[in-house]
């Protein structure tokens, strides 16, 4: 962006100040407050997004692990000589893994 584009954008967002002969920003308290508030809102939005993304990944990982347990259970049940004790344990593991996502 050129300096003129930046100034135009700043004015579009409420900047009412100007620049001195050296190109330094002249103090504009209202604009500084508005930008600070906008940055704070943006930061808050990103914090929510990141937390949501992390929770989504954790949920997907838990579900993938539970499915592995169920696939292992099926392998033990579908053997020529089924080992149902392992199947019960693996069912319990899948239930416990999924339950981790519902704990407060």
Tell me: the pLDDT tens digits for 20-32?
A: 778 777 767 777 7
Q: What phi, psi does 82 have (nearest 5°)? A: -60, 140
- Domain of 64? 3-102
- Overall number of domains in the chain: 1
Q: What is the mean pLDDT of the chain?
A: 85
Q: What is the SS3 assignment for 25?
A: strand
pLDDT band (50, 70, 90) for residue 53:
very high
Q: What is the DSSP letter of 26?
A: P
Give CA–CA dist 75/86, Å, rounded: 10
């Amino acid at each position: 962006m050129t300096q003129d584009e930046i100034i135009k954008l700043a004015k579009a967002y409420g900047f009412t100040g100007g620049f001195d002969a050296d190109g330094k920003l002249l103090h504009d308290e209202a604009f500084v407050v508005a930008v600070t508030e906008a940055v704070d809102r943006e930061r808050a939005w990103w914090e929510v997004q990141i937390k949501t993304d992390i929770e989504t990944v954790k949920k997907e990982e838990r579900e993938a692990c539970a499915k592995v347990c169920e696939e292992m259970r099926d392998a033990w049940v579908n053997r020529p000589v089924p080992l149902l004790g392992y199947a019960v344990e693996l069912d319990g593991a899948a239930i416990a893994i999924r339950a981790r996502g519902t704990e407060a």
